[in-house]
A and B are shown apart, each in its own frame.
Chain A
Amino acid sequence: MIPFAFDYATPSAFESSRERSLLGLAPDERRPVRFHGRVARDVLSFRLALQALGELIWSSDSWVGDGEAPWLLDPVTTVHPDRVFFEAFSHDRSAYGLVIADRTLFETEEEVRCGTTNVDFTGALWAALGEMRSSRSTWLRIEPAGLEVRTEGAGGRFERRVQVPDDWVRAFLQLQGAMAMPGTRLRVRPVDLLAAIRFLRYTKAKVSPRALRYELEPGHDAKVVLEPWEKAFVLRGAAHSYPEPRSIRTWGRRRLKLIEPLLPYADAVEVYLKGRALPSFYAVELPGVTFVLGLSGWTENQWTSSGGLGAPAAVVRAELLERAVQVLRDRALDESTLAATLGVPRPDAVALLVRLCRLGRALYDVQRREYRHRELFAAPIDEARLYPVDPCEEEARALVAADAVRIHSAAPRLTAKVKRLKTPEGPVTREVVHRDWTVTGSVGPERIVEIVLDDGGRLIFGRCGCPFFAENLLNRGPCAHLLALLAASEDLRKDQPTSQPAAARPQDRAREAEEEKDASEEDADE
């Protein structure tokens, strides 16, 4: 657990009269940030984005609670010379929200003090935001204020301490790495994404697979396919440049409902896909404000369950790291600009930025594709504790790099079942195909290594002759050889359609006949 202490002079409050509204966000007094400005336009967008962020903080897509006392970490606000960011990470570590507002949205008053701080954000404040109106002059104030200067606020000065689990913090930080990973960018119409979300709203999938699959065919607009129905929604105008067909599966699609209230008001959505079962990001462009939703590969993945994302942090000189921070303090920039500014090769600049993200000292602006300075913590984190070295992962990387992995076979094991699935247009009968991938090969000195992955790419079975496996089986995670085989076989495991039309089963036919009879009787009654 990592202890965090917050010192709020007063609780955040939303005050509204007939002519004027004031959203007063109380920052942590230890990290004072000052921003006082009138929201010059697009008040409704600003309100909707902040409300979506609030819903994300408390959202939980898991069925099982923590057991221990619940904790929540307040949102992080960063004021930059050109943009204001509000970040939050869900309690279940599966969703990340980022509200981006251009500084042109605000007419600021007096001095602005840039920086990063946590702000007090409660459920009561979330509800009060519903009273924000575009007809009133609306002000945003992020400013520490003692009780002596307050007249309207409620509650009192109280230092708050929360113990935040290590994996939650690690997940938050690794997210920055995931955002900066190369991937696919699609610009889609809000209605196309909304259609997919609505289909899921009205149609519950009671059988797996339940992935959201992006199909990218050369010469065609991208489309999103919902499993197990194989229901496709064409993303009109979502161009891509892949020369050969490609599909990217993502899981945890229920979490997309977090952006559902924003889509009717949005101008466009940019979807950033990082790969199969890897995080995906949805930047919803509202007038004046952008809301970015980041989703882990699947809900239980939580970014941290097995190893880190992307390459391990390279060793960089502390002096160079500080220079990079100084440069970022002045302006936002990309890897090439940093490399040119510091006079270092581009790979070194990438390593520097990855490391800064891991330390919580930089933020990746996925929309502008540039890095920004953001000190997530008041005190430096204990990197060794937060990112303990996993010898198995290290060894696996070395084995793959040394080309010591030979794959003998990689084949899907099919299990087909005929299912009657509900859809908004009525029930359909489809043959649902589950594909467990069995991969066998040799890794280094181990002649026979075998892994079985389920439909979502999770390791469900493994076999290896090494002493680590013999001692622990899979109870302490897979051994280096299993991990190496898993990594090396990634490209061989292709996603395919998960169901196809099938003839109705006898009991389904009987049920359909019964339903038709009931419907005709009802019609006759009317």
Chain B
Amino acid sequence: MPTVGARKPRAVQAEIERLLASEPDDRALRERMERIAEEPGFREVPLAVWAPDLYRRDRVLFRPFVVSHFSTFVVSGFSAKAVPWSAHAARLDAWLEQVDRDDDVQLFRRLYQWKIAGSWRSLEKRWRLDLRARMRAATTAGERQGVLARFDLPGALTEELATELYTQDAAASRAFILAHLPFGWVSLDAKRVLWRTLFELAHRLADEDFAQALFRRQASVAEWRTEALRLARAESDPGRLDEALAAVHPTVHPWNPQNLGPVFVELLRARGRDVLPYVARHLPELRRLWLRDDGHRPLLDLARERAWWDLWAEVLRTGARPDAFDRAIRDLVDDRALPGPDVRRRLQLLAGASRELHFGPFSLAAVHRLKDATAVALYERFPDLVRGAFRPHVGAAYGQGYPELVDRVRMAGDEALLDHLASRLFVVYPERRHLRAAERMADDFEALAGEPATFARRAAAVLGQIPAYSIVDYRYLVRENRLARLLFERSPDSYLADPAALRDLLEAPEIHVQALAFRALGRDDDRARAAAAANVDLLQAALFRPLHRRTRLLAFAALENAATRPETARRVVTRAREALALPDLRYPKEALFGLLGRLLHRWPELRQPHEQPVVHRRAVSA
């Protein structure tokens, strides 16, 4: 929306032209331009009107202004219109020449892209022609590097041009060529064609790093296979072979994977366990073939044939589909011919996360879930494995419940596993199958109503296993899930029966579980006060941690209960005073003042001089 009273673009342009013609002081001009740039009308004035002149006057002073307002569009309200280079060709060509002379690479790229804008094909063609011409004209290494820096724009080279660049200046052009390979090289295998001429030239010049980089990016699976097998025959040292194979391993785009499995099999047949670390590193690449082919199958067959159970397990865990993984577990559990210890050993090899993904501060671990029937079979034969190594494989998940397993575990009275299964019901979207399991477990917990200490211990064991940040919608959870309602909302007093359980809740990673502990410790109950004082080391941290307002108020109540002894009161008051310095948004400082006031009222000896109450009395007349 245009601002009321804003000047028209034509008026803004007229003032700019007047200033450029009449303002002799560059600094004053810059200040005026900065102010004009804040007006909406400025965005409708083409760049060519003011930028070339400013740059010509003092490129050091005006360059930051030009760069920050560089636009090849004029913008009016919500619509933008491209300004063709041809509309101001004379001014812009002269400016581009000056920018080129001044070695201003960043501005050159932006202007040059603007100048050659058009269809993608014509743009790329023109870019190649100009690049070739400029490189041929460059006489020194510095000039050649300057040309490559200027033309480092989106675009793909041809083999002929890449070879010419490399011949002219190998050192300068290596990185440039690798950055401008045709996009097809990461796409379909049929389009992956190695630039043989360039590749062999690099070999002849003993530029192995560049040749290998080119090979990794361009070689087809067939070419890679030939090279990998040649290396496997030629290199006898396993360590050096591993390095050599890594150097030629194809860079495959994750969206369009290649089936590398058969070549891995050939390598393993040729060199045995020498190439196992190399193959193991690249097993996750087989996973990408899930929807097309069972890339892992030939590897599995070979592993079984050679009794390489570590490879067999690694392929199943990291490269196979979940149903293949589940089938392997079931086959093992049902295999009565194989001695029990061997079955156990192979099962142990299979357990664990199939992959981990790290995105800066966030991490994800993917685990194959077992089917309910498989989990039951495994539990009946190796219950300790389900409680231990396979525990992550039997948590409730979207579309996957464990009603049979829950029944079996309840019948066995296996509290440790039951607690784990119960904790998973809090972190998954509550489907009907999960809610049914929660109902049954809630019945079990309600039966413990007469034994509050046992209830607290069991409930803390369940809640303490909920991972951090896994309860997304607490209100929905307690509304839908009866077990959650029972443990979170209906039993805070019960936790006071077991001080150890309360500390476990305070140390739990999930914030809603900690909030439950704050709620229990803040109750008007002597047991709560004793437990709060015993846990003051954890409670005082709540003053500094980032908490929601409601959670922090619960923590304040617990802290007030903790300050029932002089030493704990001193700790709480000291920390509370320090917390006043925190700039947290929505920190309930008024409640913090209230807490401090109440504690200082209760413990006058903790008051500082300026915190002593001042009592005003009528002056006594002499």
**A: which residues have CB within 8 A of B?**
1, 3, 5, 11, 15, 17-18, 44, 55, 58-61, 68, 70, 72, 91, 122-124, 126-127, 130-135, 147, 150-163, 189-192, 194-195, 198-199, 201-202, 233, 263-265, 287, 413, 415, 417, 424-425, 470-473, 475, 505-507, 510
Q: In the complex, what distance in Å separates the CA atom of A506 from the CA atom of B543?
A: 41
Q: In the complex, what distance in Å separates the CA atom of A155 from the CA atom of B493?
A: 42
Q: Contact string, B582-606, partner A, CB cutoff 8 A, digits 1/0?
A: 1111000000000000000000000
Name the CB-closest residue of B to A472.
B142
* Cβ-neighbour of B546 out of A124, A162, A198 (below 8 A): A198
Q: Is the CB of A156 within 8 A of B34?
A: no
* Cβ-neighbour of A17 out of B416, B579, B585 (below 8 A): B416
- Which residues of chain A are near B584, meaning CB under 8 Å? 198, 202, 424
Q: Is the CB of A133 within 8 A of B416?
A: no
- Known contacts A153-B389, A156-B313, A475-B145: does B365 contact A123 (CB below 8 Å)? yes
| Contacts A/B (CB < 8 Å), 10 sampled | A58-B363, A59-B361, A124-B352, A153-B389, A155-B348, A155-B352, A198-B584, A202-B584, A264-B543, A425-B583
Within 8 A of A (CB), among B344-363: 345, 348-349, 351-353, 356, 358, 360-361, 363
Q: Contact string, B286-318, partner A, CB cutoff 8 A, digits 1/0?
A: 000000000000000000000001100110010
Closest 4 CB pairs of A and B: A154-B351, A264-B544, A130-B509, A156-B349
- Which residues of chain B are near A131, meaning CB under 8 Å? 464-465
Q: Does B149 contact A (CB under 8 A)?
A: yes
The segment out of B92-100, B124-132, B273-281, B428-436 that lies at the interface is B273-281
Q: Is the CB of A155 within 8 A of B503?
A: no
* Cβ-neighbour of A126 out of B141, B363, B503, B546 (below 8 A): B363
Q: Is the CB of A58 within 8 A of B585?
A: no
Q: In the complex, what distance in Å separates the CA atom of A154 from the CA atom of B387?
A: 12
Q: Contact string, B112-151, partner A, CB cutoff 8 A, digits 1/0?
A: 0000000000000000000000000000111001100100
Q: Is the CB of A123 within 8 A of B280?
A: no
- Which residues of chain A are near B353, meaning CB under 8 Å? 122-124
- Which residues of chain B are near A472, meaning CB under 8 Å? 141-142, 145
- 18 A-B pairs besides A55-B361, A191-B582 with CB distance below 8 A are A3-B243, A15-B388, A17-B416, A61-B360, A68-B251, A70-B358, A123-B353, A123-B356, A130-B468, A133-B503, A151-B388, A154-B352, A154-B388, A155-B352, A158-B314, A191-B581, A198-B546, A202-B584
- Which residues of chain A are near B579, meaning CB under 8 Å? 191
Name the CB-closest residue of B to A70.
B358
Q: Contact string, B308-343, partner A, CB cutoff 8 A, digits 1/0?
A: 011001100100000000000000000000000000
Q: Is the CB of B503 within 8 A of A152?
A: no
Q: Is the CB of A507 within 8 A of B38?
A: yes
Q: Does B246 contact A (CB under 8 A)?
A: yes
Q: In the complex, what distance in Å separates the CA atom of A287 from the CA atom of B540?
A: 14
Q: Is the CB of B64 within 8 A of A471?
A: no
- Which residues of chain B are near A201, meaning CB under 8 Å? 546
- Which residues of chain A are near B146, meaning CB under 8 Å? 473
- Which residues of chain B are near A471, meaning CB under 8 Å? 140-142
- Which residues of chain B are near A156, meaning CB under 8 Å? 309-310, 313-314, 348-349
Q: Does B184 contact A (CB under 8 A)?
A: no
Q: Is the CB of B467 within 8 A of A127?
A: yes
Q: Contact string, B377-420, partner A, CB cutoff 8 A, digits 1/0?
A: 00000001000111010000000000000000000000010000
Q: Is the CB of A470 within 8 A of B246?
A: no
* Cβ-neighbour of B578 out of A126, A189, A473 (below 8 A): A189
Q: Does B239 contact A (CB under 8 A)?
A: yes
Q: Is the CB of B309 within 8 A of A199?
A: no
Size of B's binding interface in residues, CB under 8 A: 74
Q: In the complex, what distance in Å separates the CA atom of A192 from the CA atom of B576?
A: 13
- Which residues of chain B are near A157, meaning CB under 8 Å? 310
Within 8 A of A (CB), among B545-567: 545-546
Q: Is the CB of A194 within 8 A of B277?
A: no
Q: Is the CB of B64 within 8 A of A415?
A: yes
- Which residues of chain A are near B34, meaning CB under 8 Å? 417
Q: Is the CB of B361 within 8 A of A5?
A: no
Chain A proximity of B564: nearest CB distance (Å): 21
Chain A proximity of B158: nearest CB distance (Å): 23
- Which residues of chain B are near A5, meaning CB under 8 Å? 239, 277
Q: Does B364 contact A (CB under 8 A)?
A: yes
Q: In the complex, what distance in Å separates the CA atom of A473 from the CA atom of B389?
A: 59
- Which residues of chain A are near B80, meaning CB under 8 Å? none
- Which residues of chain A are near B444, meaning CB under 8 Å? none
Q: In the complex, what distance in Å separates the CA atom of A505 from the CA atom of B242?
A: 63
- Which residues of chain B are near A158, meaning CB under 8 Å? 276-277, 280, 310, 314
Q: In the complex, what distance in Å separates the CA atom of A448 from the CA atom of B214?
A: 42
- Which residues of chain B are near A152, meaning CB under 8 Å? 384, 388-389
- Which residues of chain A are near B388, meaning CB under 8 Å? 15, 151-152, 154
Q: Contact string, B138-180, partner A, CB cutoff 8 A, digits 1/0?
A: 0011100110010000000000000000000000100000000
Chain A proximity of B87: nearest CB distance (Å): 30
Q: In the complex, what distance in Å separates the CA atom of A526 from the CA atom of B543?
A: 30
Q: In the complex, what distance in Å separates the CA atom of A122 from the CA atom of B313?
A: 18
Q: Is the CB of A475 within 8 A of B358?
A: no
Q: In the complex, what distance in Å separates the CA atom of A159 from the CA atom of B281?
A: 10
Q: In the complex, what distance in Å separates the CA atom of A233 from the CA atom of B581?
A: 9
Q: In the complex, what distance in Å separates the CA atom of A123 from the CA atom of B367?
A: 12
Q: Is the CB of A133 within 8 A of B142?
A: no
* Cβ-neighbour of A3 out of B239, B500, B538 (below 8 A): B239
